[in-house]
Amino acid sequence: MLDQTFSGGVVIANPYPVEQVKIIQAPLPNQVVLPLQQRIGAEAKPCVEVGDRVLTGQVIAKTQDQFCVPIHASISGTVMAIDKQIIPHKSGLKSTCIRIESDGQDEWVETKGCGSDFLHCDRQTLIDYVQRSGIVGLGGAGFPSHTKLNKATGCHTLIINGTECEPGVMCDDALMQHHPREVIRGVEILLHITGAKRAIIAIEDDKQEAYQSLLMFNHNDLISLAQLPTKYTSGAEKLLIKALLDIEIPSGGFAADKGILCQNVSSTKAIFDAVIDQRPLVSRIVTITGDALTPVNVEARLGTSFEHIISLTDVNQQAHDYRMGGMMMGIDIENTQMPICKITNCIFVNNRKPKQLAKECIRCNTCNTVCPIGLLPQQLYWHAKGENIEKCMDYHLFDCIECACCSYVCPSHIDLAGYFSFAKALHKKQATDQHKTDIARDRFEFREYRLERNKQERAQMMAEKKQALKDKMAKDKEQGQVQKDKIAQAMARVNKIKEKDA
């Protein structure tokens, strides 16, 4: 086990531990709601219509954006609606979704893949399978896996992230315990795609069962397992690389710049499913935890409502608060009618309690000591509170990963991470407004330039016309004088003849 990880961070014990990490297979839902807007990129366009019958695994929406993945039907049935629905996102805005009503058959579409003999498939073919199977980062980021793989040229080290550092989340732990063979084979597929010389599966030291399971199935000399001290936020990509390889990714840099590729362990298993079992991503494991029920892990089809999978637990009948994605970096959600999506790794169901009110900052400096990035949250807070975004940028606002370690230790209960998220949003708004202002100014300046240019062109044209007229008049005058001279000469000749005749 590694002795040291990174500076900062906080040690938080799992508030809702269980004796044995199990996975419950959720029954097929009566309906699923599948959002067409993924985490990044353009919104997918439906390729089915209301009333169409679809099969499980069938592509129902796609986009030409190479950063995006297609949307698959997670059950077989009939498309009942394509409309706006509220999705689990902190914006609270609605997004276009496809609603499918189940026929109870779960009939799968015929799919293709490389199968177990994947070594005969070339790199790009495998990456195409990953994209067509709709695989993204399942740890919560949702970044498309094929995009990472396409950029992994020159990769020397592959890191499989099984740290799952958020307290209370157990879905990756359950996956590693129950699917170790698939995880190891998934890592071998990634080694073949990237050409990396080694792979490291990172696990926190409180997941001994998962560690032993993977160790038992790992017979590949290129793959090693590394245990890290259980500390939040060891799962953050840059911190994980620092802890494992002692390599620092600079501000604004990427792991790929250093020849390193990080993949979530659940995404790695999904890649196994896509390449060898030839199944697109239509389900995921979700941890249901909190003080209102006994924690469980449920494997459910994407698009299943929170309500459906919470109903599989022994949740009590009190009033609840809901949170998706972890007690530290998750988001509060208003109701349980929203659908689970690819980044839904955990749902907290807690008995409703009065929230602690924030007090004035006492400048204790505790937040500065736990920041894993080495920022100065206290100073950032004052500038964010005063909406002085320029000063926030001086304190490296965008290096903040919003892990909320600072908020966790704050004795005044100030939501520091919330202030930083607000400051980032404000910076984005100001940048957008400035961009619009710049465009408007450029348009005005171009209009002024165009009007001045037209004015000059007209003046030049009038001057040329005036000069041409002058030239013509002068020429006409000259020609008139010549004519007069000719007439005078003719008259002189006539008069001379008359004088001779007289």
* Residue at 147 is within a domain: yes
State what percent of residues in the chain have pLDDT above 70. 98
pLDDT at 416: 95
* Residue at 11 is within a domain: no
367 is in an annotated binding site: yes
406 is in an annotated binding site: yes
364 is in an annotated binding site: yes
Shared domain for 206 and 277, answered yes or no, is: yes
Residue 189 burial (C-beta neighbours within 10 Å; 0-12, 13-18, 19+):
buried
Shared domain for 299 and 183, answered yes or no, is: yes
Predicted confidence (pLDDT) per residue in 244-276, tens digit = 998 988 888 889 889 999 999 999 999 999 999
* Residue at 104 is within a domain: no
- Find all residues with CB under 8 Å of 77, minimum gap 6, and list them: 31, 53, 54, 100, 101, 102, 103
Show the tokens assigned to 154: 């020159």
Range among 83-92, 158-167, 279-288 with highest mean pLDDT value: 279-288
341 is in an annotated binding site: no
Predicted confidence (pLDDT) per residue in 93-144, tens digit = 788 999 999 999 999 998 877 888 888 889 999 999 999 999 998 887 788 9
Q: How confident is the model at residue 1 (pLDDT cuts 50, 70, 90)?
A: low
Shared domain for 340 and 397, answered yes or no, is: no
Task: Look up the pTM and report it.
Answer: 0.84
| Phi-psi group of 465: left, alpha or beta (phi > 0 → left; psi -120 to 50 → alpha; rest → beta) | alpha
CB atoms within 10 A of CB 474: 10
Domain count, the chain: 2
State what percent of residues in the chain have pLDDT above 90. 69
Shared domain for 373 and 309, answered yes or no, is: no
pLDDT at 3: 56
pLDDT at 354: 86
pLDDT at 273: 94
List the domain range (segments joined by +) for residue 367.
Answer: 356-501
Query: For residue 176, what is the domain's CATH number?
Result: 3.40.50.11540
68 is in an annotated binding site: no
* Residue at 446 is within a domain: yes
Shared domain for 130 and 246, answered yes or no, is: yes
403 is in an annotated binding site: yes
Shared domain for 376 and 296, answered yes or no, is: no
Predicted confidence (pLDDT) per residue in 144-201, tens digit = 999 999 988 889 999 999 987 788 999 999 999 999 999 999 999 999 999 999 999 9
CB atoms within 10 A of CB 469: 10
pLDDT at 207: 92
Shared domain for 251 and 306, answered yes or no, is: yes
Q: How confident is the model at residue 65 (pLDDT cuts 50, 70, 90)?
A: confident
pLDDT at 4: 56
Query: Of residues 139 and 423, which shows the higher confidence score?
Result: 423
Mean pLDDT of 409-433: 93
- Name residue, tokens 């699923």: 32
* Residue at 2 is within a domain: no
Shared domain for 466 and 342, answered yes or no, is: no
* Residue at 107 is within a domain: no
Report the mean per-residue pLDDT for the chain. Answer: 91
Is 54 a residue whose pLDDT tops 70? Answer: yes
Is 283 a residue whose pLDDT tops 90? Answer: yes
346 is in an annotated binding site: no
410 is in an annotated binding site: yes
